[in-house]
Amino acid sequence: MPFTVSQGIRRAILDDAPAILSIFQQCDLFDNSAHRQLSIGLLDVIDWLENATDKHPMFVLEEQGDVIAWCSIESFYGLPAFDAASEISLYVLPTQHRKGLGTALFHYLEKERHHIGFTHLIAYIYASNLESQGFFKRQGFEQWGLLPNIAQNEQIKEDVLLLGREF
C-alpha cells in the first residue's frame, strides 16, 4: 500500500540527528567504515539541522515513531541570482526501498514548494546509483550535467550526474 503524505512527514528536529546519520551512512557510496573519520558525522548532521530554515528545510518521514527517510532543500549556489534554485537531498532507509516513501516525500515538497520558494531543484547523483537516477527521472528530472571523476576516495573514483527539474 503506498505511503500517503499525511502519514508521518514533519520537520526534522535535533533528536532526529542519529537516525538521519544512520540512513545517510547506509545509503552513501563513500561512507564506508574504513574511512568513517573522513566522512559525515553526527556533528555535521546537527549542523544541517541547526541551519535548516523555512526556505531550506529538512523533513523526516517516520513510521511508528522511527525515522525511515529524510530530505533536505539547501541553497544551490549561494548567490542572489540563484535564490529560487535549491539542491535536493533525499534518502530512504535501504530496508524501506520500493514502498513509495521517496515519492511521498517528493510530492510533499512539490505541494509545499510555494511556501519554501523554489522554482528549480538540482540533485547530485553518483553515476553508479541507477536506482536514484531512476527515482529522480520518474519525478520529472532531466540530466543537466556530468562531473567526471569528481567523487573520490582511495578505492573509488565516481562520476556525479547533475539532475534538475524546473517547476
pLDDT of residue 38: 56
- Flag whether 120 is in a domain: yes
CATH code where residue 43 lies:
3.40.630.30
pLDDT of residue 129: 92
- Flag whether 44 is in a domain: yes
- Flag whether 73 is in a domain: yes
Q: What are the φ and ψ backbone dihedral angles of 57, each rounded to 5 degrees?
A: -85, 165
Q: How many domains are contained in the chain? A: 1
pLDDT of residue 156: 79
Q: Which domain holds residue 33?
A: 9-124
- Flag whether 151 is in a domain: no
Q: What is the b/e burial string over 139-156, where b = at least 16 CB atoms within 10 angstroms of the residue's CB?
A: bebeeeeeeeeebeeeee
- Flag whether 131 is in a domain: no
- Flag whether 90 is in a domain: yes
- 106/163 Cα distance (integer angstroms): 15
Using CA atoms, how far residue 79 sits from 40, 152, 155, in Å, is 25, 27, 34
Burial of 59 (0-12, 13-18, 19+ CB in 10 A): buried
- Flag whether 79 is in a domain: yes
- Flag whether 82 is in a domain: yes
Q: What is the pLDDT of residues 119-162, one digit of tens each?
A: 999 999 999 999 999 999 999 999 999 999 998 877 778 999 99
- Which residues in the chain come in under a pLDDT of 50? 1-5, 33-37
